[in-house]
Amino acid sequence: MLAIAPFSDENPLNRRIASFGATRLSELLKGGRLQIVDAGRVAAELQRQGLAPTDLISPSKTIAVGIAVGADAVLTGRILEVLQEPASGISGDEFTAIEGRVTVDVRILDVKTRLKLFEGEIYCSVPALVPVAMECVARRTAARVNALWLPRQKKPTGRTPVTDSMRHATPETKLIPLPCGPFRWRRARPTSSTPSSITRS
């Protein structure tokens, strides 16, 4: 179970966009392969403990919140950049475009082991307003989270399973059982004629 903590930002002007980012991430992850404790529930627990999202820079406080909400891991986000500015056209064009940029430092902490399962900056720059850039960051973060919990593929053992086609192969490749408890298989020696049945050695 993964808890999504409210994103933190020391700039009061950015707190609404930070809150939107964590809420949107919770929505994107719900219904997937993970059980999610959404940002609203984690925010309520923070308030109960007298903490702010900025306090979750402390691993011990993050783990305490994770235990309180019954999570196995806690995802925290710290806003590093929120920027919206005009991007003028090229070669004296009269139009002016809007560019929105958001960068979030994302960390996922395992509650039991205290190990960081993920840590990195997730960045988006879009020709739109800042909320659209935050939507982009939330989607990229959700993709990273889902990739962490993808089922691992089994490594090949190097052994070839015995199939019916192998049991009914030509004399050069025929497999016969050995008389020692559970059957193990060895190759039969080539013969001039194909035996009508498999015999024990």
**pTM, whole model, 2 decimals?**
0.70
Report phi then psi at 84, rounded to 5. -135, 125
* Strands 96-110 and 116-126, sheet pairing: antiparallel
Q: Which residues of the chain have pLDDT under 50?
A: 160, 162-201
H or E segment at 103?
A: strand 96-110
pLDDT at 104: 96
- In this structure, which topology does domain 2-89+97-148 adopt according to CATH? Rossmann fold (3.40.50)
Q: What is the DSSP letter of 196?
A: S
pLDDT at 162: 43
pLDDT at 22: 96
Number of alpha carbons in the 13 Å side-chain half-sphere of residue 30: 10
- Mind listing the pLDDT tens digit for each residue in 59-87? 999 999 999 999 999 999 999 999 988 86
Q: What is the DSSP letter of 197?
A: S
pLDDT at 7: 96
pLDDT at 123: 95
Q: What ranges do the domains of the chain cover? A: 2-89+97-148, 162-192
